């Protein structure tokens, strides 16, 4: 890149000399030309043409005005700097700089990218065999009956390695309901409230049949943000139910229930307890503590 800049600077100087001072050689007899002394020799070429003089390439762009042209001496334009330690903080793949933070292209310092194999995850540009990771896009890298416990002890959706694979069962989890959506009418076709007003939804969360908690109701809303959670110990085969209701003065109306009859490690690694259907939609997650 330095040589390119020097060549460009020299080209501008040469062009300026030809334009202002004119040519030191004989004046052109016909047409548009660049003819005169340049560093390394004498340039004599028609406008639009190129010539190599003393190892320096020139292209005539106007009468007695030239610009650098490395290809005239058989040297192609270098173009962008190649991927390497001086140009890339991540890793290089097929000459292109990558972030170096993904399992498929892991690396740092401008070195070559590598793909992390099974049981390993990319963390800090290194494939770590002892660690694990979890992300909303790639999921949990642990297998079998294990789940990835991320640094700090929480596997939230934004968590990225390097965590530790640990048994998924017999540990405490957070069950968190983010939001829900209800249709215009109840499952029986009747209005939720008087004058067909919007419902007042809330949820109840049960594990193995036991009630863990009831969220506050959100007044007059078909689309409610609850941000309500509970904690519970989860073992293999545990059942989880999240039931949605409409709060009324006399009796609460049932809407729908998300049921997970027998929890396994795959569900726990997925962290997802959402469900949807004709009766409504609920977004919920379960994360290890």
Pairwise CA distance, residues 49 & 72, whole Å:
9
**At 153, is the pLDDT very low, low, confident or very high (cuts 50, 70, 90)?**
low
3-class secondary-structure state, position 155: coil
pLDDT of res. 158: 62
Residue 187 CB neighbours (<10 A): 13
User: pTM of the full predicted structure?
Assistant: 0.56
Residue 189 CB neighbours (<10 A): 6
Pairwise CA distance, residues 106 & 138, whole Å:
15
Question: pLDDT digits over 209-242, tens only?
Answer: 999 999 999 999 999 999 999 999 999 999 999 9
Q: Give the mean pLDDT of the chain.
A: 83
| Structural contact between residues 83 and 95, judged by C-beta atoms closer than 8 angstroms | yes
Question: pLDDT digits over 58-100, tens only?
Answer: 889 888 888 888 888 876 555 577 899 988 999 999 889 999 9
Domains in the chain: ranges and CATH: 2-73 (no CATH), 91-146 (no CATH), 171-288 (2.60.40.150)
Question: pLDDT digits over 265-279, tens only?
Answer: 999 999 999 999 999
């Amino acid at each position: 890149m330095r040589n390119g800049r020097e060549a460009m600077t020299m080209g501008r100087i040469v062009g300026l000399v030809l334009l202002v001072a004119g040519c030191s050689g004989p004046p052109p007899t016909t047409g548009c030309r660049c003819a005169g002394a340049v560093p390394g020799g004498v340039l004599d070429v028609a406008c639009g043409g190129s010539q190599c003089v003393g190892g320096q390439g020139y292209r005539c762009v106007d009468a007695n005005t030239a610009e650098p042209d490395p290809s005239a001496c058989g040297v192609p334009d270098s173009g962008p700097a190649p991927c390497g330690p001086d140009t890339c903080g991540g890793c290089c793949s097929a000459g292109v700089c990558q972030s170096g933070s993904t399992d498929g292209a892991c690396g740092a310092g401008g070195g070559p990218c590598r793909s992390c194999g099974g049981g390993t995850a990319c963390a800090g540009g290194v494939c770590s065999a002892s660690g694990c990771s979890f992300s909303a896009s790639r999921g949990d890298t642990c297998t079998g009956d294990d789940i990835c416990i991320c640094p700090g002890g929480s596997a939230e959706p934004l968590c990225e390695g390097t965590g530790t694979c640990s048994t998924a069962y017999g540990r405490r989890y957070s069950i968190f309901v983010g939001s829900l959506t209800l249709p215009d009418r109840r499952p029986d076709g009747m209005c939720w409230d008087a004058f067909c007003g919007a419902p007042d939804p809330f949820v109840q969360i049960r594990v193995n049949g036991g009630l863990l908690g009831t969220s506050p109701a959100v007044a007059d809303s078909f689309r409610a943000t609850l941000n309500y959670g509970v904690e519970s110990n989860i073992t293999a085969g545990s059942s989880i139910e999240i039931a949605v209701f409409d709060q009324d003065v006399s009796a609460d109306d049932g809407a729908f229930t998300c049921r997970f009859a027998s929890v396994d490690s795959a569900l726990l690694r997925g962290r997802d307890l959402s469900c949807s259907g004709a009766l409504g939609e609920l977004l919920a997650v379960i994360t290890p503590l």
